[in-house]
Amino acid sequence: MGAQAPATAPNGVQRERDPSGGAAAAEVKQLVELTWRQQCTTCHGPTGRGDGQMGPMVQAPDLTLADWQGKTTNGEMATVIKMGRNRMPAFNLPDPVVAGLVSRIRTLKAR
């Protein structure tokens, strides 16, 4: 197999592809955090407690509750992110970003 062509970053700078996926993983992590801040916190709040600006109006669940975390599977979370449910709209996101959001939600803890 030949060498891979350099990837072009959004700013037009070419860089070598990282065969280990390190650069790609870092980009996905950035996209996950950006998506969380821009799309999720409006309803779920910055810590996932359902206390975002629109949270009470749309009855956003508190994603930090052990009960909610325990009864919701990763697959169910991914489906809701992609397809929407009740007042939550569908989000057309790449699978790695959806998986990253699910992982991020799993890290939320009740305070």
Predicted confidence at residue 5, as pLDDT, reads 45
Query: Would 8 be classed as within a structural domain?
Result: no
| Domain membership of residue 100 as a residue range | 33-51+70-111
CA distance 79 to 109: 22
pLDDT score, position 19: 52
**Exposed e or buried b for every residue in 62-91, given b needs 16+ CB within 10 A?**
bbbbeebbeebeeeebbebbeeeeeebeeb
Tokens describing residue 55:
């949270």
- Asked whether residue 64 is domain-assigned, the answer is no
Tell me if 81 sits within 8 A of 102, measured CB to CB.
Answer: yes
Query: What is the count of structural domains for the chain?
Result: 1
Mean pLDDT in order along the chain per 10 residues (111 residues): 45 49 87 96 96 96 95 97 95 96 91 55
CB of 49 closer than 8 Å to CB of 64: yes
CATH number at residue 99: 1.10.760.10
pLDDT at 104: 96
| Domain presence at residue 9 | no
In a domain, 61, yes or no: no
